[in-house]
A and B are shown apart, each in its own frame.
Chain A
Amino acid sequence: MKRREGLAKLTGRERYVDDLVIEGCWWGATVRSPAARGKIREIRFGEEVDWNEVVVVSHEDVPGKNTIALMEEDQPVLAAGYVRHIHEAVLLLAHPSRDVVRRAAAAVEIEVEEESPVFDFRVPPEADQIQYSDDNLFKRLLMEKGDVASALASAPLVVEGVYETGAQEHVYLENQGMVAWEEDGVVSVQGSMQCPYYVLKAMREALARDDHQMRVIQTPTGGGFGGKEEFPSGIALHAALLTLKAGRPVKLIYDRGEDMAATTKRHPSRVRHRTAVAEDGRLLAQEIDILLDAGAYMTLSPVVLSRAVIHAAGPYSCDNVRVEGKAILTNAVPFGAFRGFGAPQSLFACERHMDVIAQRLGMDPLRLRRRNLLRDGQSTATGQVIEDGTDRLEVLDRALELSSFHQKRRAHITFNGSETFRRRGIGLATFHHGAGFTGSGEVYLDSVVHVAGLPDGRIEVRAASTEMGQGTITVFTQFAADRMGVDPEDVLIAPPDTSKVPDSGPTVASRTTMVVGHLVEKACDDLREKLGLSPQATGAALREALGHWHAGHPDQELLGEGRYEAPPGIVWDDEKYRGDAYGAYGWATYVAEVEVDLRTYTARVVDFVAVQEIGKVINEVLARGQIQGGVVQGIGWALMEECKWRDGAMVNNQLTNYIIPTSDDVPPIRVGFLETPYPHGAQGAKGIGELPMDGPAPAIANAVAVALNKDPRVIPLTPERIMSLVETS
């Protein structure tokens, strides 16, 4: 099936929030902190602006709690006399002219009495830098299996390594933006977002209103990648506060520079491995320390850390594992959700480290992986017994075959021996990604989907799950049409609007197809049951039954409901971090072939193979697109994308100087799927949204290591960094 909203996007007819024409709408702007930490001493309003024309909102205008409700109530909607990072929102302005409001924002001067900030998350804070608890740690997690200490003490070989990854900007095509208005006592916000009910929750706290006095609507969203998971809650509150004070609709749209400077990024990480190995390559013990830079507020850092910890030991069988994770405060713009959500960081370290171990053992890295990859019946680091019927060795073999791994490796020896300034290498990563919320998360979410049977015989799927380019509308249509035996044309997908759709949970964590899709199916079954239809009844019978029902129940709604129930046998201990961390994992092997040009020290990916087992491919074009897009984002993170910081703020906040790959920087990406249906996912599917973000960076770094016979430990591997690698022996 073709993407349902594809044509509108292709032809430019789609209307994003900035395209909405709203009568009498004013423009909003945000005045931000110039300092990384300290008390706001004075705010001066420049004389070049006629302030009588400008609506000014401060923290005093927040009717409820001055907090962006998420995990911890630490991040204010607007700074109340104290700031913890550059670009923190202090004031909001509104004016009929976009130009004037921007000038007005620039004319406000905020004077801060600066206190000692922390910028390097790797350096323990001094006493005067402590700002959270007594150690600046937002979260510490410990996960233990077996007895690591004795295994390390008695091991024939212990291999150590420290690995670092940088921040990454989402670069969704559409910048953040929101419009708000008040009508008949109802405050509505509409804009670019992944999670309408997160926004509603934040409004409930800060605006101190009942749910029926608020409404959140998603506009077509030009990409999210996690950047529109929690961050839009803040902008929505800002737009709402402005509209309440201005008494008219207000639009708040970030331009690219503001978006890149002031919004969340992927958490920078440092991961240390100590691994005990037997001479035959068996992993005897894995001791892993993870440190994440959380930035100035907690946001979602504890759960990002959780996913990093759970994935840190890789898809391997090892009896003794100890992972300690810490997310620490710095006075940087807060880091937040980003595709992969901690797993790319810890899997980079794990998979690069596997090659380092192989090198130390003098063993082929393929053999090392083959020896340790999980077999059915063995358990992960959390003690979760994997018995999903997937042959993880077959995933590896398919990738090797598709990439001609062995032939290329041989050819590279000849190539590198005869070439003057070009070097080639091939590398791989074997990895996994847990789909859906961690542990009991899905139970707490208690997600609900409705499928309405309409009087005209069509059905409408009502869910808060959003389309942001990944295909929600299309796959939900497929699920409903298949389940009800109707034509896809007769399936409507309701736009996510909290006044109309139930809370099917956030559109995150690779959960929409697998988890929410399954709820679409359950809601279809429920509708069928309410209509007294047999499982065999298809389109015509449904239409007829709906006609009858509505004739008998004028002006009433007929809703089938699907509510989440945990698959049987899932057990998770959130205290000890033991048990079934995820209902299902995607399994993958990615292979990267790189060429390094020693004239410019530039690494280029010249071939890429991505093979994964994902339960069931629901829509091949969309699935392939997800994988290829993730690989491109991974190539960027591995080789080019580097945030340059000054005092905790990104200074290369333009697309001229923050370098993402162009189509010319991306090789052919060959995608292979293996399918072992997951019984609790829609049509057997497992989540795939984040999986492709995990593998490219380690595969590429491993290939660079082979090409140069060097040992890269830090990404992005920019030319400048490769130069240092090559020049230092």
Chain B
Amino acid sequence: MKLLLPTSLEEACGALKDHPQAIPMAGATDLMVHWPSRFEAHEGTYLDLSAVEELRQHRFTDDALVLGGSTTYWQVMRDPRASREFPLLLEAARQVGAVQIQTRGTWAGNIVNASPAADGVPVLMAYDAEIELVSHRGEETVPLSEFYLGYKKMRRRPDQLIRAIRLPRRSYEVEIFEKVGSRQAQAITKVGVAVTHSEAGWRVVANSVAASVCRCPALEALLGHDLPVTTPDHLLPAIERDVSPIDDIRSTAEYRRKVLARVLFWALKEGRGRNRERARR
């Protein structure tokens, strides 16, 4: 393997220009899992971002929380202000692997790994995150909800890095994150959903039920129109339009559809988000 070790963002962009096939690597928590069995990966070129200090820190601006390109779950979990203003980040981060993964794994890495089961992405998307992509050619900003184009396909050119993830600061009336895994901890999501409601409207984001983590416009519309939803089954037609789950090694399409309806229904009914908002004040 070839390892590139830039110490600044500029150097990193330069390295990607010279080595367009290089794979950026932050916590490496996904790349390393299959390392022993994927021999072709051993021949690859990797861009190790661990020495790029400017990507590491997260910060608050007047109107946003800005996560760096290599900000870890752990950094956000340890920041009371981030947990207070964006409680779903904390909830999701706690569900990612174990402490070892939480301290190495990064939010941006979770985004570009592009797993449909990503635990960090739904809450970022429900908070209307935008990602700042940077390369030697310049920068661009893409809403996270428009970033994915299909299974493991995304709007990132090989020479681009995520410099930052920007979450607008808003007042939320509803904040919900539900992860259904195959056990209580250290599980890959079988079906998950993040929901927010603010002056910007409803955001419903589901994972493990489509080729990528995705917004659910039909569900958002349903919630926005205040239509009567008295049983979980009332959500199913919208779910049918929004997602396309499959049978795989972890679960079935039927289970995913039904359980998405049920966890969403009960979470909304119980008003968990609202209660939490009250408790926080």
Contacts and interface: CB of A to CB of B under 8 A. Distances in A.
Interface of A: 99, 102-103, 106, 255, 257, 420-421, 598-602, 604, 640, 644, 651-652, 656-657, 659, 661-662, 664-665, 718-720, 723
A421 to B, nearest CB: 6
Interface string B161-200: 0000000000000000000101111111010000000000
Contact of A662 (B185, B249, B254, B262): B185
Interface residues on B, range: 20 to 34
B266 A420 contact: yes
A662 B186 contact: yes
Scoring A103, A601, A651 by chain B CB atoms within 10 A of each residue's CB, the highest score goes to A601
Interface string B31-46: 0010011010010000
B272 interface: no
A644 B250 CA distance: 9
A228 to B, nearest CB: 22
Given A599-B266, A719-B255, A723-B255, A657 B39 contact: no
A720 B252 CA distance: 7
B259 interface: yes
B17 to A, nearest CB: 31
A664 B263 contact: no
Contact of B249 (A99, A255, A651): A651
B19 interface: no
Given A664-B183, A719-B180, 20 more contacts: A99-B39, A102-B36, A103-B39, A257-B37, A421-B262, A421-B266, A599-B265, A600-B262, A600-B263, A602-B180, A640-B182, A640-B183, A656-B33, A657-B188, A657-B249, A659-B183, A661-B183, A662-B183, A664-B184, A719-B255
22 contacts: A99-B42, A102-B39, A255-B36, A599-B266, A600-B262, A601-B255, A602-B180, A644-B249, A651-B249, A657-B249, A659-B183, A662-B183, A662-B184, A662-B185, A662-B186, A664-B185, A665-B183, A665-B184, A718-B182, A719-B180, A719-B182, A720-B255
Interface in B18-60: 33, 36-37, 39, 42
A103 B36 CA distance: 10
A600 B180 contact: yes
Contacts of A106: 39
Contacts of B183: 640, 659, 661-662, 664-665
A85 to B, nearest CB: 20
A671 B233 CA distance: 43
A657 B249 CA distance: 7
Contact of A652 (B33, B184, B185, B249): B249
B269 to A, nearest CB: 8
Contacts of B251: 719-720
Interface of A is mostly: loop
A640 B255 CA distance: 15
Contacts of B263: 599-600
Contacts of A604: 184
Nearest to B266: A599
B187 A659 contact: yes
A496 B183 CA distance: 39
A599 B184 CA distance: 15
A720 B186 CA distance: 19
Contacts of B37: 255, 257
Contacts of B186: 662
Contacts of B188: 656-657
A599 B259 contact: yes
B267 to A, nearest CB: 9
A664 B95 CA distance: 12
Contacts of B104: none
Nearest to B42: A99
Contacts of A652: 249
B258 A723 contact: yes
Nearest to A103: B39
B247 to A, nearest CB: 10
Given A659-B183, A661-B183, A601 B249 contact: no
Contacts of A723: 254-255, 258-259
Nearest to B270: A420
A420 B269 CA distance: 11
A641 B22 CA distance: 39
Given A652-B249, A659-B183, A598 B262 contact: yes
A723 B249 CA distance: 17
Given A420-B266, A599-B263, A657 B184 contact: no
Contacts of B255: 601, 719-720, 723
Scoring A106, A604, A657, A720 by chain B CB atoms within 10 A of each residue's CB, the highest score goes to A720
A99 to B, nearest CB: 7
Contacts of A102: 36, 39
A641 to B, nearest CB: 10
Contacts of B190: 719
Nearest to B263: A599
